[in-house]
Amino acid sequence: MFVILIFFTVLAQCFNGKEVEVVEEEEVFTEELLLRPLPDRKVLTHFHFEHKAPFHHQHYRLFPKAIHQLVQKFRIREMELSFTQGRWNYERWGGFDPVSSRNVKPPGVELWAVFDVPPNQVDETWKNLTHTLSGLFCASINFLESTTAYSAPVWGFQKISGGLRYGALPREAVCTENITPWLKLLPCRDKAGLASILERPSIYNGFYHSQRLRLISRGFESQEGVKPEIVLQQTLTAVLQSDSQRTMTTNYGKKLQTSWSIRSIFGRKPNDICVLAKSSTIFLELDRGLVYELNKLGVELDTTSADNAAFELTVIPTRVIKEEKSSLNEGSPVVYEFSMDKFSPGKLQDIGLTWKHPIVWACLQAPYHTNRFLMGSGNERGSIAISLRSTHSGMGSRIDNVVDGSKVEVVVFQVVPWYVKVYYHTLQVFIDGQPKMVADVVEKLHVSPSEDKVSTGAMEMILKFPSDANLVVLTMEFDKGFLHIDEYPPDANQGFDIPSAVISFPNSQASITYLKENFTSSPMLQKFKEKSVLLSYTEVLLVPLATPDFSMPYNVITITCTVFALYFGSLLNALRRRVGEEERIFESKGKFIYVGDSTKIRLVPLLLQKLFPKLRTHQQQPQSSSPSSLLRSKLIFKVILVAGLAIGWHFYFG
């Protein structure tokens, strides 16, 4: 009886709980687009689609089932997959704001994931994941399954403990076949809503585009205060130029910034809103540098008016969002919000910006501008150099980065394939042209050396150097390996790629906190608010390795066959020859010629004695033996006859 009672109460609680869950946990989808004019007459467009769904759920209305299955099957705690084409120009487009710090990715494919599985199963899970993603996104992500392609950073990439795997494919070409499956994850696809303006030619004609999928799931271990849910963020960051600019030729002198609108950038404008989205919003952001310059001109930006001295907006913004308190004495970013829900359906207007006053500004730079390049030439060895050049235009940002005693902390994470055999002991550090002791600058170093044909080499390193250093250079020497002929990838003569290194500045936080009064539930702006480490990626390097002539196998087969033929020929010859008899004949002859002393004559003279009489016979043959000369003349006559016949035949019938 008592047991039954307990059973019922438990059951009742379960029901209660479920009801509560259904009420408060709902699937949420939001779509947002951020537009930002860039100093070099281009426009940054950043799409942010976010799904939020409860973790334990039987049936999803909006959340893509494929992703849910992925999370459940591989027990993914966090995952990020990005497809990128082109390079982010840190110098011109900035490197110290949330968009460039979080959403900029190296060219090609980059994938990292954190699994909630026992350590010995992580590699296996990773392999399966790469294959699944490869199928989902029509890309050769499955090349990341091999241990020679990925690595397991400990602390250099993300401060996540255990179960992290990181891999990059710099050579992966990104095309529409990758964006189509990505769009299919959206509830409205690209039929309605903000995604409908994603016209493929305009995106792929841009200067940079990076399509990203970020997955966060909380629910494998129940924690207090953490809601078990899956968050899927899909972002697409593209740098585009408006149509009018593309055809415009350069005219000299100070130029007006290009005026643009959504239609001129994408070639389309949104028609319908996605009714499934909880909110769809377009933001127009003016970054710090621009606001600073505008303030200098005395332009008022606080009001929601569409018109001011410097520019004119084609649509009146819903409201203006400003930064809470500018930590830097420069201008603070201003965001115009255009809520799509406020527009009547079918009457969505083409949001755009028309400049009235020529204005020049610069984007906020990361404290150090990073470059990586190869040194040396030839197919034998070389060295990798990473240079960190202080951006004096950092405008106070460096203050953030200062650790105790005015030291700057920089984390370097670099993965190198095994055929580039880096000698980590040759690490050299130069600060402002002065060679420094490695121990003085490198605070923490973790190296997992590569193993030939088995694993990649990874280097994680924390550097600490005085904040007034202008130029910090790290160099490492390497030997180029020799690959087996079947290990060469297609187009091996192009060279081999070293994926981008990740440089992070842990003391610099790229975040924008907006004023409380214009609090927004926008997931994108919430995301910008989060404090995160400033990241920047270096260039992909191309190492020319010694490549064989790939017709070589044919040559090898030919030469091997020749060697075999010679070997077997001489072997058979040796086997069927009766050595004893020959020696006897030779001996008898030797005795005849060299009386008694033949044993003392050495091998070479013996051979020569054996050979040279023959020569003399040739020279003297004509006089000594007439029958043989007759024979020879007959032979020559025959040869000439045959040759003549052949020539005649060839001449008349050939």
Q: At what angle do helices 122-137 and 65-74 cross, to 10 degrees?
A: 170
CA distance 409 to 441: 10
Q: Contact region for another protein (CB under 8 A) — 14-22, 191-199, 403-411, 494-502?
A: 494-502
Among 82, 85, 125, 196, binds another protein (CB under 8 A): 85
> Nearer to another protein by C-beta: 160 or 299?
299
Among 585, 635, 640, 643, binds another protein (CB under 8 A): 585
Q: What torsion do the CA atoms of 181, 184, 186, 191 make, to the nearest 10 degrees?
A: 130
Among 58, 120, 222, 250, binds another protein (CB under 8 A): 250
Closest distance of CB 17 from another protein, Å: 52
Q: Output the six-digit token pair for 363.
A: 């984007």
The footprint of another protein on residues 190-229 (CB under 8 A) is: 204-208
Structural contact between residues 282 and 35, judged by C-beta atoms closer than 8 angstroms: yes
Closest distance of CB 433 from another protein, Å: 4
> Nearer to another protein by C-beta: 292 or 336?
292
* Residue 620 DSSP label: H
The footprint of another protein on residues 349-408 (CB under 8 A) is: 360-362, 371, 373-379, 385, 389
> Nearer to another protein by C-beta: 399 or 473?
473
Structural contact between residues 467 and 398, judged by C-beta atoms closer than 8 angstroms: yes
Among 60, 86, 140, 354, binds another protein (CB under 8 A): 86
108 binds another protein (CB under 8 A): yes
Question: What is the bridge-based pairing of β-strands 381-390 and 368-375?
Answer: antiparallel
Q: Contact region for another protein (CB under 8 A) — 11-19, 79-87, 259-267, 275-283?
A: 79-87
Q: Contact region for another protein (CB under 8 A) — 128-136, 446-454, 516-524, 598-606?
A: 598-606
Question: What is the bridge-based pairing of β-strands 28-37 and 279-286?
Answer: parallel
Closest distance of CB 77 from another protein, Å: 31
To 5 degrees, how large is the angle CA 119–CA 125–CA 131? 155
The footprint of another protein on residues 261-320 (CB under 8 A) is: none
To 5 degrees, how large is the angle CA 513–CA 516–CA 517? 135
Q: Contact region for another protein (CB under 8 A) — 51-59, 267-275, 457-465, 587-595?
A: 587-595
Closest distance of CB 354 from another protein, Å: 19
Q: Cα 619 from chain centroid?
A: 76
The footprint of another protein on residues 602-641 (CB under 8 A) is: 602, 604-605, 608-620, 624-625
Among 493, 526, 626, 633, binds another protein (CB under 8 A): 493
Which amino acid appears at position 254 of this protein? K
Phi (first) and psi of residue 555, to 5 degrees? -60, -40
Which residues contact residue 91 at a Cβ distance below 8 angstroms, ignoring those fewer than 6 apart?
365, 369
Q: Total number of residues binding another protein (CB under 8 A)?
A: 88
Q: From residue 436, how far is each of 231, 383, 461 by CA, in Å? A: 46, 18, 16
The total number of residues shown for the chain amounts to 654
Closest distance of CB 23 from another protein, Å: 48
650 binds another protein (CB under 8 A): yes
**Binding pattern to another protein, positions 437-476, x when CB under 8 A?**
---------------------------------xx-x-x-
* CA proximity to 83, closest of 50, 111, 47: 111
> Nearer to another protein by C-beta: 77 or 372?
372
> Nearer to another protein by C-beta: 303 or 620?
620
Q: At what angle do helices 122-137 and 176-184 cross, to 10 degrees?
A: 100
